[in-house]
A and B are shown apart, each in its own frame.
Chain A
Amino acid sequence: MKKDLNPYVFILPSCCVLAAVVIFPTIFLWYVSFTNYDLAVGWEKKQIVGFANYFFLFLEDKDFWHSLRISLVFMVFVVAIEFWLGLFVALLFHRRIRGKRLWMSFLIIPMVITPSIIALIWKLMLNTEYGVLNFLLASLSLPKINWLGYENALWSIMLVDIWEYTPFVALILYAGLQSLPQEPYEAVVIDGASPLQIFYYFTLPLLRPVILIALLLRAIDSLRIFDIVYGLTQGGPGNATELMSLHIYRLGFRHTNWIGRASANSILLLFIITLLTTVLLRILRKSEVKEGTT
């Protein structure tokens, strides 16, 4: 056979583009995070300030800690609730149903709608005076809720996120359930195990990699969230819903133009997400290997 092409002929073009649009900007971000660049002052007048921006965030910026805390609270709650609800929905569909494909297509609606538009839709429904949710509450003679007020705003945003992404978790878990092998089940059913036992001792462990992938994807995406919060509350009222990415927005673009400090915050967000991504990739790699050997 004639001489084969080098694999990099195929790979290099993409890598060059990605280097230009990802690697270079990330390095640039590191650089900016060590300067005191302020949009209002100008690029020429910036100075290298070492770790000052990081110290500012850690020592002086109480809102940074606030945003970190509520981001983690947000992540833990939405991931936990979406997991249990998603598992519930996946199990509901995991049986013979007429027209299943059609029914499942309804489930797709929340997760493919443009997220910023989702914010609009829910803003419509959550309004205290004219929103349909309070109308429904009132018709059940329950008191009205100030959904986007200071106390409730973060929970309302969780509610929207749960609405949007529970189908996502459900679909992944459903696919996992469908791909489980049938033989072990037949054996344990003969042994007389109860459905609950079967689920706990067989289904859940077999489903573990799929569950982990779904949960980590959700955890990562819940930390990246920006559009829904921006559309609904823009981080407010006060800083009630100022999650990490909203805090970056406020530092760099909204109230102040401290691009240096905002960059340092961006680096920290990147760091947290990289940690989670590393775990996710390890699991993906492991499940890939297993697939390859069987």
Chain B
Amino acid sequence: MRLKRKLFVQTVILDILIAIVLFLAVFPFFWTLLTSLKTRAQALDPSVWLFTPTLENYRAIFQKRDLMMYIKNSFIVVTFTTLIALFLGTLTAYGLARYRFRARENLAYWMISLRMLPAMAVIIPFFLLGRFLGLLDTHLLLILVYLSFNIPFTVWMVRGFIEDVPQELEEAAWVDGCSRFQGLRWIVLPLIAPGLAATAIFCVIQSWNEFVFAFFLTSFNARTVPTTVTFFLSVLGVIWGEMAAVGIVATLPVLIFALLVQKYLVRGLTFGAIKS
């Protein structure tokens, strides 16, 4: 009886601790949501927690600040870089998963190392080359530059998924006269479709969130959503409601996507080193 009670108390304490952790994790987002629904005067007063919400800030960011243009640019860049990375990356992943050759592991690990490339270290050559080629402030440049992290990521994720598919399935198809490509297309791809979808979503999130390249390589026409922070650097404390509204609009799509791939999250974060 006493033991049972001790266990109960223990569980309650642990549950309370979890509640605190979750509260801390969610609070900034919640606060932003709250601020985005306040009027200009209320936004400056943190003691206001209950109020009649207004959508004024959201109207303002779409009408005055043309947020739609930023979203459109982000959408174009994210879509193309993801599609190209998925296509090229899957081919490479297949080569690395199904063939044995000398440079295989070195090549694979070199690709991971690209994920660590500090954006601020390579921004100078990207900026200069972009200028020489007249590509600054174009979607194309961002799409290409984002391939530098999306391709390696795709290769690692998809390679893991392909290795989970037994090769015998393909071999049976080869006997029936399928080529390598046909085997990949009709046998392997359908089986790894959920993994591919997850990989695509990760690419979308990464590209959507990217700031450094977008900030330095675009100036007006190809500005993406994360660069909207620059609206709010100089004007301190005046347009907090709009600032918060931008935060919510920029964040919601990523959050929804992230929830879809929760199952693969750890695998994605560690390039498949830890599969759970």
Binding site for B on A (CB under 8 A): 1, 4-5, 7-11, 13-15, 17-18, 20-22, 25-26, 28-29, 32, 43, 89, 92-93, 95, 97, 101, 103-110, 112-125, 127, 129-132, 134-135, 163, 167-168, 171-172, 174-176, 178-179, 210, 213-214, 217, 220, 223-224, 226-227, 230-231, 234, 244-245, 248-249, 252-253, 259, 262-263, 266-267, 269-270, 273-274, 276-277, 280-281, 284-285, 287-288
CA distance A101 to B107 in the complex (A): 36
Question: Does any Cβ of A come within 8 Å of B233's Cβ?
Answer: yes
- Contact assessment for B211 and A176 in the assembled complex, using a CB-CB cutoff below 8 Å: no
Q: Which residues of B contact A273 (CB under 8 A)?
A: 116-118, 121
Q: How far is the CB of A288 from chain B (nearest CB, A)?
A: 7
CA distance A226 to B123 in the complex (A): 12
- Contact assessment for A117 and B46 in the assembled complex, using a CB-CB cutoff below 8 Å: no
Q: Which residues of A contact B121 (CB under 8 A)?
A: 29, 245, 248, 266-267, 269-270, 273
Q: How far is the CB of B193 from chain A (nearest CB, A)?
A: 19
- Contact assessment for B29 and A109 in the assembled complex, using a CB-CB cutoff below 8 Å: yes
5 CB contacts below 8 A, A to B, read A119-B229, A120-B32, A163-B24, A269-B121, A277-B113
- Contact assessment for A114 and B262 in the assembled complex, using a CB-CB cutoff below 8 Å: no
CA distance A277 to B17 in the complex (A): 35
- Using known A-B contacts A11-B107, A117-B226, A125-B31, determine if residue A107 contacts B25 with beta carbons closer than 8 Å: yes
- Contact assessment for B88 and A110 in the assembled complex, using a CB-CB cutoff below 8 Å: no
Q: Which residues of B contact A252 (CB under 8 A)?
A: 124
- Contact assessment for B91 and A13 in the assembled complex, using a CB-CB cutoff below 8 Å: yes
Specify the chain B residue showing the minimal Cβ separation from A272: B118
- Contact assessment for A113 and B17 in the assembled complex, using a CB-CB cutoff below 8 Å: no
- Contact assessment for A179 and B274 in the assembled complex, using a CB-CB cutoff below 8 Å: yes
Interface residues of B in 164-194 (CB under 8 A from A): 174, 179-180
Q: Which residues of B contact A32 (CB under 8 A)?
A: 124-125, 128
Interface residues of B in 227-275 (CB under 8 A from A): 227, 229, 232-233, 236-237, 240, 243-244, 246-247, 250-251, 254-255, 257-259, 262, 265-266, 269-271, 273-274
Q: How far is the CB of A149 from chain B (nearest CB, A)?
A: 14
Q: How far is the CB of A83 from chain B (nearest CB, A)?
A: 15
- Contact assessment for B92 and A14 in the assembled complex, using a CB-CB cutoff below 8 Å: yes
Q: How far is the CB of A48 from chain B (nearest CB, A)?
A: 16
- Contact assessment for B270 and A28 in the assembled complex, using a CB-CB cutoff below 8 Å: no
- Contact assessment for A285 and B109 in the assembled complex, using a CB-CB cutoff below 8 Å: yes
- Contact assessment for A121 and B32 in the assembled complex, using a CB-CB cutoff below 8 Å: yes
Looking at B94, B179, B251, the one whose CB has the most chain A CB atoms below 10 A away is B251
- Contact assessment for B122 and A29 in the assembled complex, using a CB-CB cutoff below 8 Å: yes
- Contact assessment for A114 and B46 in the assembled complex, using a CB-CB cutoff below 8 Å: no
Q: Per a CB cutoff under 8 Å, which of A7, A29, A125 touches B124?
A: A29
Q: Which residues of A contact B3 (CB under 8 A)?
A: none
CA distance A231 to B128 in the complex (A): 24
Question: Does any Cβ of A come within 8 Å of B22's Cβ?
Answer: yes
Instruction: Give 12 new A-B contacts, CB below 8 A, not counting A230-B229, A252-B124.
Output: A5-B179, A103-B18, A114-B225, A114-B250, A117-B229, A120-B247, A172-B269, A172-B274, A230-B211, A284-B112, A284-B273, A288-B273
Q: Per a CB cutoff under 8 Å, which of A18, A227, A281 touches B211?
A: A227
Q: Per a CB cutoff under 8 Å, which of A104, A116, A175 touches B226?
A: A116
- Tally of contacts, chain A with chain B, CB under 8 A: 268
Binding site for A on B (CB under 8 A): 14-15, 17-18, 21-22, 24-26, 28-29, 31-32, 35, 43-47, 88-89, 91-92, 94-96, 98-99, 101, 104-105, 107, 109, 111-114, 116-126, 128-129, 144-145, 147-148, 151-152, 155, 174, 179-180, 205, 208-209, 211-212, 215-216, 225-227, 229, 232-233, 236-237, 240, 243-244, 246-247, 250-251, 254-255, 257-259, 262, 265-266, 269-271, 273-274, 276
CA distance A7 to B92 in the complex (A): 9
Q: Which residues of A contact B15 (CB under 8 A)?
A: 97
Q: How far is the CB of B71 from chain A (nearest CB, A)?
A: 12
Q: Which residues of B contact A179 (CB under 8 A)?
A: 274, 276
Q: Per a CB cutoff under 8 Å, which of B112, B120, B129, B270 touches A226?
A: B120
